[in-house]
Structure 1
Amino acid sequence: MEKQFVLMDVDRNVYEVDRVLNAQTTNIRSFGSEWSIRLQRLHGGLSDGVDVVWVDNGCTRLAILPTRGMGIWKANVAGVPLEWHSPVQRPVHPTFVDQSRRGGIGWLDGFNELICRCGLGWHGAPGTDVTRDADGNVVSEQFLPLHGRIANLPAHSVTVEISDDGAISIVGVVDEAGMFGGHLRLTAQLTTYVGSNTFEIRDTVQNLSAGSAEAEMLYHCNIGRPFVGEGAKLHIAAAEVAPRDSRAAEGISDWPTYTGPVQGYAEQVYFVRPLTADDGRALAVLAAPEGDRAVAVRFDTSTLPWFAQWKNTQAEADGYVTGLEPCSSFPNLRSFERQQNRVVQLDPMGSVTFEFAVTVVSAADDVSRLVQEVADLQQAERMTVHDQPNPEWSP
């Protein structure tokens, strides 16, 4: 039997700030470990008004940001921090983010989450999206800023669901809508189990418009120390890997490995067509330099068929981080992705669901098993690594 608790519902005027849910306050058993959920509101600075849902399953502690599109600010798994240190040191309320700033990259002024959604209508580089008819005539032109709107849109509903098997789910609903601009709804569900070192994301994007709509999604999973450092390595079974641009091509010979912090380092991005295991998921493993810790991301390739690796090993003060990014399309301008038939097309009331899971391990044997799992999957097909950008993947 599942019990549900409403933390926030704008339509019903419900807002349970500082409410604590645990075994004692809910009369739900402990499942052998202390667990809790709490809604907090931050005050002061650029974080003023940002809501945080703290979820602690006894092993994994997560900070979810309903105010920022249900992104995940940071986590801690069995005492190991899962986060990164951005120059943007605290969650930023969307009120303070002007996405048009700096030529359309103002999104970065609020960028510091562990997991940030990019979408829903578009993601990728800023630029003018040109739509053409079947004869090639321009139908519309629209400037699209970096990475879409969803990370700067607040949820209007947040509920907690707790099951008899120890599953804890946080469900948030966010609307991306505008008059004459369509209406996409994100129903974001994060699930973890009491005592688990894993959490799962299941997102459904629905088109609530009477007309058809386009959708894109990229999960910016951003990881810093202690997982990233000199000698850290990304393990992913892939059919193809290609640099995004000429800058990335400079480092193609060692694309899976990481250096220590380098002042003035310019980011490098690699595009990947991952191989899919029998369970329908791909696996990316970021192994720490010492081989004693790893982060594993498993994602459903039926709707997240692509992957991007973001290497940003610049000085610590400027954001020493890597991004593991399952995506529905590559982070290019939407018009290019449309030409390559990678943009999701949604019928009226149609929907698409994206799923992935994050696991953290802190023992060398567990790391070795994950790395071997990737190696076994790679046996199915030889990986092709392109020295230069693939013209079908990069404009």
Structure 2
Amino acid sequence: MATKNTPPTAELRRRTGDLAAFAGIQEVVLKNGREEGVRALLMRNAVGLELEVLIDRAFDLGSARFRGTPFGWRSGNGFRHPGLHEADAEDGLSWLRALDGLLVTGGLDHALFGGEYDATHYAYPPKQTVRHGLHGRLTAIPARLLRVEEDWQEEGGSLRVVGEVIQATSFGEHLRLTRTIELDLFGTSVRVHDVVDNLGFEPTPHMFLYHLNIGHPYVDEGTQFVAAITRHEWASDSTSQQGVAYDVLSAPIDGFVEQVWEHALVAGPDGRHRVALHAADGARGVEVTWDAATQPFFFEWQNLRSGQYGIGLEPSSNHVTGEAAARDDGTLTWLAHGERREYDLTIRILDGDDEVRDSLTAIRALGDQPTGS
């Protein structure tokens, strides 16, 4: 007879002939409209965490739910097939037509706003410069699926998928992203581990940004943005004109102009940055942590416009001023042949008052934050 100390998996095995009834990974192909032909992986664990991994969209994260409630933001663009993407269109802003879902990654050789940059390091005379659009080319590159693993253990286990994305051109960059996405079978966290390496033989610029997007109802009027902030490094012009503070969100506003903040954060003893969104009533939230050494910069993107309502939490390898400034001041990362950078991101759902309070306590142990604007 099972007892109260019986491991969760053992309890489930007694109650079903197939553990896929409770958790697992399914490979699907989206089959309608703009998404026609996009391969995806549906990951769902035994406590109600569900995640869509878009294989053909750079292994980024699409829809996300916890116990049926969405927390990943949806823009209305849909998960467009990469064949529809025009990287150089609209003066470099066509990336906005691909922006949708929980995670859209910027990189691999460029992130942030675009421009034209020296390319003579590639030693190809017809290509003296290279032009980049907003947040680079990565999001419209299909991945190669490497592994799908369902690791059921008697006292836990995990769901894990691994994909590889190659961004390359003749006489230019040849970069590889290897991404691992993992859910605990009985947990409320999503873990993303990325390795970027240079397969080419020329030194190559490298920038990397997580555009992590949280939507309603985890974002709503009164939602609090919580972090240990020493100062505001930068803010867009709109932040002084619309009367919406960075730390407490408003309801949706017709015609709202996006507000972007760069916050200087305090890292914890574990070397990680930690930020959170807490619901006004303290009943739910989302907490995000990442390696402060590889992504020391952080942006808060407030898109509170009606019909677009959401918040972007954006760890970055570079300051908001972007590639031109990084080239000028010598902070741009250049990867030699075989050189690599590693990144990791953890997204945790806060389920109930106790977890929200614990999150606030952990962040406040690192430091306070300025009030209001």
TM-score range, shorter chain: 0.7 to 0.9
Q: Any conservation in 2 of the 1:243–1:252 contact (CA below 8 Å)?
A: no
Q: Any conservation in 2 of the 1:206–1:352 contact (CA below 8 Å)?
A: yes
State the Cα distance separating 1:365 from its structure 2 match.
1.6
For residue 344 of structure 1, the aligned residue among 307, 325, 333 is 333
For residue 274 of structure 2, the aligned residue among 273, 283, 289 is 283
Q: 1:65 to 1:371 in 2, by over 3 A?
A: same
Q: 1:322 to 1:211 in 2, by over 3 A?
A: same
The answer to whether structure 1 residue 356 and structure 2 residue 356 are counterparts is: no
| SS of the residue 2:239 aligns to | helix
The answer to whether structure 1 residue 39 and structure 2 residue 27 are counterparts is: yes
**Paired position in structure 1 for 2:259:** 268
The answer to whether structure 1 residue 166 and structure 2 residue 157 are counterparts is: yes
Distance 1:143 1:50 in 2: 27
State the Cα distance separating 1:320 from its structure 2 match.
0.6
The answer to whether structure 1 residue 114 and structure 2 residue 105 are counterparts is: no
The total of aligned residue pairs comes to 350
**Paired position in structure 1 for 2:62:** 73
Q: Deviations over 1:57-107 (max 9, x none)?
A: 12211100010000100111233211223121x210011111222211111
Question: Unaligned regions of 5+ residues in structure 2, if any?
Answer: 1-11, 122-126
Q: Any conservation in 2 of the 1:292–1:364 contact (CA below 8 Å)?
A: yes
> Which amino acid in the other structure matches residue 328 of structure 2?
Q
Q: Any conservation in 2 of the 1:126–1:143 contact (CA below 8 Å)?
A: yes
Q: Any conservation in 2 of the 1:173–1:188 contact (CA below 8 Å)?
A: yes
Distance 1:64 1:299 in 2: 20
The answer to whether structure 1 residue 365 and structure 2 residue 354 are counterparts is: yes
Q: TM-score, normalised by structure 2?
A: 0.87
State the Cα distance separating 1:287 from its structure 2 match.
0.9
Q: 1:65 to 1:95 in 2, by over 3 A?
A: same
For residue 143 of structure 2, the aligned residue among 108, 131, 155 is 155
Distance 1:358 1:166 in 2: 18
Q: Deviations over 1:142-194 (max 9, x none)?
A: 22111111111001233113444512211000000000112000000011110
Q: Any conservation in 1 of the 2:245–2:372 contact (CA below 8 Å)?
A: no
**Paired position in structure 2 for 1:144:** 132
Distance 2:296 2:365 in 1: 19
State the Cα distance separating 1:140 from its structure 2 match.
4.1
Question: Unaligned regions of 5+ residues in structure 1, if any?
Answer: 1-22, 134-138, 388-395
Matches within 5 A, 1:204-215: 204-215=195-206
| SS of the residue 1:67 aligns to | coil
> Which amino acid in the other structure matches residue 181 of structure 1?
G
Q: Any conservation in 2 of the 1:328–1:343 contact (CA below 8 Å)?
A: no
Q: Any conservation in 2 of the 1:242–1:385 contact (CA below 8 Å)?
A: no
For residue 123 of structure 1, the aligned residue among 111, 115, 120 is 111
After alignment, is 140-149 or 166-175 more displaced? Answer: 140-149
Q: Any conservation in 1 of the 2:25–2:150 contact (CA below 8 Å)?
A: no
Percent identity, please. Answer: 25
State the Cα distance separating 1:50 from its structure 2 match.
0.2
State the Cα distance separating 1:36 from its structure 2 match.
1.0
> Which amino acid in the other structure matches residue 265 of structure 1?
F
The answer to whether structure 1 residue 189 and structure 2 residue 164 are counterparts is: no
Distance 1:29 1:303 in 2: 41
| SS of the residue 2:129 aligns to | strand
| SS of the residue 2:164 aligns to | strand
Q: Deviations over 1:106-150 (max 9, x none)?
A: 1111211111111011011122224799xxxxx943221111111
| SS of the residue 1:169 aligns to | strand
> Which amino acid in the other structure matches residue 376 of structure 1?
A
The answer to whether structure 1 residue 175 and structure 2 residue 166 are counterparts is: yes
| SS of the residue 1:74 aligns to | strand
State the Cα distance separating 1:341 from its structure 2 match.
3.8
Q: Deviations over 1:343-384 (max 9, x none)?
A: 2221210000001100001201211110121111106xxx57
Distance 2:56 2:357 in 1: 38
> Which amino acid in the other structure matches residue 127 of structure 1?
G
Q: Deviations over 1:221-280 (max 9, x none)?
A: 111111111111110112221333322344698222211111111001000221111111
Q: 1:270 to 1:132 in 2, by over 3 A?
A: farther
The answer to whether structure 1 residue 330 and structure 2 residue 315 are counterparts is: no
Matches within 5 A, 1:245-264: 245-250=236-241, 254-264=245-255
After alignment, is 356-365 or 323-332 more displaced? Answer: 323-332
Distance 2:184 2:207 in 1: 29
> Which amino acid in the other structure matches residue 366 of structure 1?
E
The answer to whether structure 1 residue 299 and structure 2 residue 299 are counterparts is: no
Q: 1:189 to 1:303 in 2, by over 3 A?
A: same
Distance 2:371 2:333 in 1: 27
> Which amino acid in the other structure matches residue 361 of structure 1?
L
Q: TM-score, normalised by structure 1?
A: 0.83
Q: 1:208 to 1:34 in 2, by over 3 A?
A: same
> Which amino acid in the other structure matches residue 370 of structure 1?
S
Distance 1:337 1:239 in 2: 22
The answer to whether structure 1 residue 103 and structure 2 residue 91 are counterparts is: yes
| SS of the residue 1:68 aligns to | coil
| SS of the residue 1:180 aligns to | coil
| SS of the residue 1:166 aligns to | strand
